[in-house]
Amino acid sequence: MIRKPLSFQHRLMLVILLTVLLPSVLINYLTFSTIKTQMQKDAITWLKGITNNSGRTMDSYIQLVTGITKNPEYDSTLMSIFERHRFNKHGLYGYPYDERVQINGWLSMLREMDDNIYAVNFVDLNGNRFHLGKDYVEANKDWIDRTSELNGGSLVWPPVKLADGETVFSVTRTIINPNTFHVTATIQLAFQLNFLTQEDNENFLQEGDLLILDKTDRVIFDLNGKRTGERMDWDNREQQFHVSYDSALTGWKLVGMVPEHLLFQKVDQLRKWILLANIVFILLTMVIVYLLSYRITRPLWKLSKIMQQASKTNFIIDTISFKRKDEIGMISNSFNLMVRRIHNLIDTVTDTERRRKKSEIEALQSQINPHFLYNTLSAITMQAELDENYKISDMSSLLGKLLRYSIGSQEEWVEVRQECDYIRTYIRIMQFRFPLIQFDLQIDESVNNWLVIRLLIQPIVENAIIHGIVPKGKEGLVNIHVGEKLTESGDSRLFISVKDSGVGMDQQTVDATMVKLREYEDQSGGIGLQNVYNRIALSYEGDFEFTLESKEGIGTSFYIEIPRRLRNENHDR
């Protein structure tokens, strides 16, 4: 089933709509892509700033708290108290009232150093605990034993979530008396990182999340409290942007996360509104385009109907007229003028055809003249043989062969074998005239049946003799080679070379000759090299190579490379 082509009106509408629609879609796409990319960069920068600032603040605060745990060692009174009670077996009651007051004073001072300090504990070597602040943890041997292994070093503990929902961090250290170097007690200082939940991070708290991971990527702190205790899955981030900060002090990793859909929510809403506006714009454009295209194409449709009628009636129609001064009116006037000119052309073509037939008859009659020349040369040949003048007999016989090949044959394409036989005949005639010139003709057997245009090689050989060797006035050699050449793609092409040992030319003359040949490529007529070049260009439609090389005083070389052509192959021209 053949589909009916679109009318001109519909095609005009389609072109206009595509011209309007495609730029609009492309501009929208590029605009939103640019906005989305820029927003993504801004979001990552913003998230990185919050995460890095929070991480650096966390490290600074933990370092501050760690330093505070070192302060009791510098109080000789406090150290003396704990030194005296290293082997106290009576519990807290073994401490006199004034010593307990001294210890509680230190606890109060440490507690009041910062609002974020949650609680302070002193535990002596006998497990007696002195506590100030909210009750954080009962005295047990686990954190004390692990702290004592550091021999006076501090230990930062992962956060613990208490029953009231608060998250508490802690730092512990073994207190060593600097005078006796005895371990006297262990200090535990619990604190909160309240800066992570301050109002400055309100937007971040509503839309994002802040995690602290240990060295095994386990979540030990979650701002939203949803992932605590889980292992971080980096491959499944639920389309979230994330930035991490590695703490060299604690070995923890602070990770800030923001959902992607929250960042682009406003952009998506804007895109929907613009898309709706584009749809309305396109619908209005379609209505306007339809009305305009109808006004433009309606007269053209009427004109096409009249043209169809003209083709069926051999333009025997009345002229048309639109009362318009625009392009449609100009087309109708031009059509009327064309009809009148076609009538005149029909008369002219009829007369030209009559003249052509007369010329063909005259051309057929003119073919009688070559037969007269053949008969005359045959008579000369016979008479020369009767007079035993065999040189003239051979020359007239060879000349007859040349005439039969050059003007007697009507074939445009001949086999390479025929063209080379013609060259051999031409060479024999030239040797009568120039006996000092030698010829070397080499033909590959593989190309004998290939086709070439008739009289392709002879004008080049003649040029080599007349303009190359004869002006030199010495013996010369003309080398002719016809063979097959394989291209890089594996195709076979016919290669022809004609070289002489004549006077040669300088490079400037060579370049000028090639320029002249190419300038006349599309012109007919001419003789010699120009004739050969023009016929090659017309016959092979540009698919050929014609090269001229020459050195002054050494000789000239012609190289021709043309496609392979066989008689049983179909070649469009």
What average pLDDT does this structure show over 104-118? Answer: 87
pLDDT value of position 549: 94
pLDDT value of position 482: 94
Confidence of residue 441 (pLDDT cuts 50, 70, 90): very high
Better pLDDT: 371 or 122: 122
What average pLDDT does this structure show over 24-42? Answer: 75
pTM passes above 0.75: no
Listing DSSP states for 299-336 in one string gives: HHHHHHHHHHHHHHTTT-------S--SHHHHHHHHHH
Please give the Cα distance from 476 to 383 (Å, whole number).
Answer: 34
Confidence of residue 380 (pLDDT cuts 50, 70, 90): low
What residue ranges do the domains of the chain occupy?
44-262, 313-365, 412-563
For strands 183-191 and 240-246, give the pairing.
unpaired
Grouping H, G, I as helix, E, B as strand and the rest as coil, residue 116 is: coil
Residue 524 confidence (pLDDT) above 50: no
Confidence of residue 324 (pLDDT cuts 50, 70, 90): low
Residue 16 confidence (pLDDT) above 60: yes
What average pLDDT does this structure show over 509-535? Answer: 75
Mean pLDDT of the chain: 78
What average pLDDT does this structure show over 108-126? Answer: 88
What average pLDDT does this structure show over 439-464? Answer: 90
Better pLDDT: 271 or 512: 512
pLDDT value of position 525: 40
When mean pLDDT is compared across 211-215, 222-226, 531-535, the lowest value belongs to 222-226
Would you say the CATH fold of 412-563 matches that of 44-262? no
pLDDT by residue (tens digit) across 368-377?
Answer: 455 545 555 6
Residue 43 confidence (pLDDT) above 80: no
List, in order, residues 6 or more apart from 120 with CB less than 8 Å away.
Answer: 107, 110, 111, 131, 132, 133, 187, 188, 189, 190
Confidence of residue 335 (pLDDT cuts 50, 70, 90): confident
Query: Torsion angle, CA of 500/502/507/512, rounded to 10 degrees?
Result: -80
Per-residue burial over 53-83, b = 16 or more CB atoms within 10 Å of its CB, e = otherwise: ebbeebbebbeebbebbeebbeeeebbbbbe
Please give the Cα distance from 151 to 175 (Å, whole number).
Answer: 9
Please give the Cα distance from 200 to 439 (Å, whole number).
Answer: 102
Residue 428 confidence (pLDDT) above 90: no
Better pLDDT: 371 or 382: 382
Grouping H, G, I as helix, E, B as strand and the rest as coil, residue 378 is: helix
Q: What are phi and psi of 153, to 5 degrees?
A: -85, 160
The radius of gyration computed from the CA coordinates of the chain, to the nearest angstrom, equals: 54
Residue 409 confidence (pLDDT) above 80: no
pLDDT by residue (tens digit) across 541-552?
Answer: 788 999 999 999
pLDDT by residue (tens digit) across 480-511?
Answer: 999 999 888 888 999 999 999 999 999 999 99
When mean pLDDT is compared across 51-60, 129-138, 153-162, the lowest value belongs to 129-138
pLDDT by residue (tens digit) across 190-215?
Answer: 888 776 655 445 555 566 778 888 88
Residue of 414, 46, 364 whose CA lies nearest to 200? 46
pLDDT value of position 364: 42
Residue of 32, 23, 16, 42 whose CA lies nearest to 273? 32
CATH architecture for residues 412-563: 2-Layer Sandwich (3.30)
* 72 DSSP assignment: G
Please give the Cα distance from 237 to 260 (Å, whole number).
Answer: 10
Confidence of residue 367 (pLDDT cuts 50, 70, 90): very low
Q: Could you tell me the CATH superfamily of domain 44-262?
A: PAS domain (3.30.450.20)
What average pLDDT does this structure show over 246-263? Answer: 81
Which of the given ranges, 237-246, 290-299, 412-421, has the highest pLDDT on average? Answer: 412-421
Better pLDDT: 269 or 405: 269
What is the 3 state secondary structure string of 227-290?
CCCCECCCCCCCCEEEEEEECCCCCCEEEEEEEHHHHCHHHHHHHHHHHHHHHHHHHHHHHHHH
Please give the Cα distance from 302 to 321 (Å, whole number).
Answer: 11
Confidence of residue 327 (pLDDT cuts 50, 70, 90): low
Asked if residue 21 lies in contact with residue 28, where contact means CB atoms within 8 angstroms, the answer is no
What average pLDDT does this structure show over 90-109? Answer: 88
pLDDT by residue (tens digit) across 470-484?
Answer: 888 778 999 999 999
